[in-house]
Structure 1
């Protein structure tokens, strides 16, 4: 059974993210012109995801530093700070699932909904059983990349040129952390799941192995798209424009 502090934190986090998005409708934070009306929900959703990724990145790293046992005993280590941090994150996934059902077309957003439902279900199960929390906290390292990934979307929304230094710096950090802390961490988790196979129910281990492998493949596809759009296409456009300028000259 979930403890009272964990349950309270989870529900409070859900409410806080809902209030935050309502606050954006009346705050001084300007929405991009393109997302000021019909697409305003998309802007609020990305901003909420950016806040959540930043929270998970900072608190997840702090939990792993303060309780290194999560790295050595990923199955049985369980303490209050890690549980509360995970509960707050689960509150975001609960909020975002309900928010998507309310504001988006289910036929178009079902992959995100499926991802959120899976993460929420598994996370609550870990908190309920008070086990496997180490895997949950290690997975928060992925959100370090989430900060730069969502920042990329915000920069595009606000019309920041891809040739700008800000965009290029974020692109560099995005690709580096994507490889090291998104794909890399998931690969390490896959290896650890094989190592810890005897310490958890077989069906749980198999489910996590398959799910992690699927997420790795999806992330590699997304990384290819980012490189194709932000690196290959931009370089091609730059060369084309340079050639055209020389010919005009």
Structure 2
């Protein structure tokens, strides 16, 4: 790692490209795995399944990696502006490569119009991560932001189970509870902590205004997603309809 790090740090652009190619290779390899029959019968489901499979690999890898960085180097939480280690820098590089690959997959397969929210999210993340990689600032902040990938594991599993038509399975029922738990403890908590840190240290941060606006936009997005998630999994439409009819 020590010998590789100077190369990555000196050439973040090509390093991101290599990481993107790694996830593209993972995309190809995952196509060899069996998929549910229901998924095979529809082109969109097939694409979404492949896309989510790569996303799951990214979430399992970077979510674990991010938590490990904070556990091993607690200063990550307290010095978001300038603290980083070779391992945390490489983590941000790898994750940026994934988001570039995923954005490319969405656009090149013709799903941009129906996935504009994901593209907006990816654009915000890529821009912030590129800033961190090229300036060596806010790398710790990017690591904390990647805590959300712990929740993404349950989010991706939820969508994959829905694609397979397994909403009534015990796995889905357990996962939807875990999903809410991880959404609060890893996604909302991480985002709100970063927002608090920026506001609290605003005067001493480089380009604090840009990052604060970015965090506010991201916070609005994740709160909307959380509402949609709760409505979909815990307030079925027929129950909502019945309540309205009773009124």
**Same fold, TM exceeding 0.5?**
yes
Q: Distance in 2 between matches of 1:24 and 1:147?
A: 16
> 2:39 touches 2:49 (CA, 8 Å); kept in 1?
no
1:60 to 46, 63, 66: 66
Kindly indicate whether residue 189 of structure 2 is the aligned counterpart of residue 180 of structure 1: no
Q: Distance in 2 between matches of 1:151 and 1:92?
A: 18
Q: Deviations over 1:172-201 (max 9, x none)?
A: 110111122111221111110012212222
Residue 233 of structure 1: how far off its partner (Å): 0.9
Q: Deviations over 1:90-121 (max 9, x none)?
A: 11011112212210243333332222122112
Q: Distance in 1 between matches of 2:138 and 2:23?
A: 26
Q: Deviations over 1:59-102 (max 9, x none)?
A: 00111111111111111112211000110001101111221221
Over the aligned positions, Cα root-mean-square deviation in angstroms equals 2.3
Gaps of 5+ in 2: 243-247
Q: Distance in 1 between matches of 2:195 and 2:67?
A: 20
Structure (1 or 2) with the larger CA radius of gyration: 1
| SS at 1:104 equivalent | coil
Identify the residue that residue 210 of structure 1 maps to in structure 2.
213
Residues 225, 120 of structure 1: alpha-carbon distance in 2 compared, 3 angstrom cutoff: same
Residue 9 of structure 1: how far off its partner (Å): 4.4
Q: Distance in 2 between matches of 1:195 and 1:105?
A: 39
> 2:66 touches 2:91 (CA, 8 Å); kept in 1?
yes
Gaps of 5+ in 1: 240-249
Return structure 1 stretches of 4+ with deviation > 4 angstroms. none
User: What are the within-5 Å matches in structure 2 for residues 98-113 of structure 1?
Assistant: 98-113=104-119
1:230 to 233, 237, 245: 233
Q: Distance in 2 between matches of 1:211 and 1:32?
A: 41
Size of the alignment, in residue pairs? 234
> 2:121 touches 2:218 (CA, 8 Å); kept in 1?
no
1:16 to 17, 22, 36: 22
Residue 206 of structure 1: how far off its partner (Å): 1.4
1:155 to 138, 155, 161: 161
Give me the TM-score of the superposition, normalised by structure 2.
0.86
Bigger shift: residues 54-63 or 178-187: 178-187
Q: Deviations over 1:8-43 (max 9, x none)?
A: 642222111111222233x13225423455222211
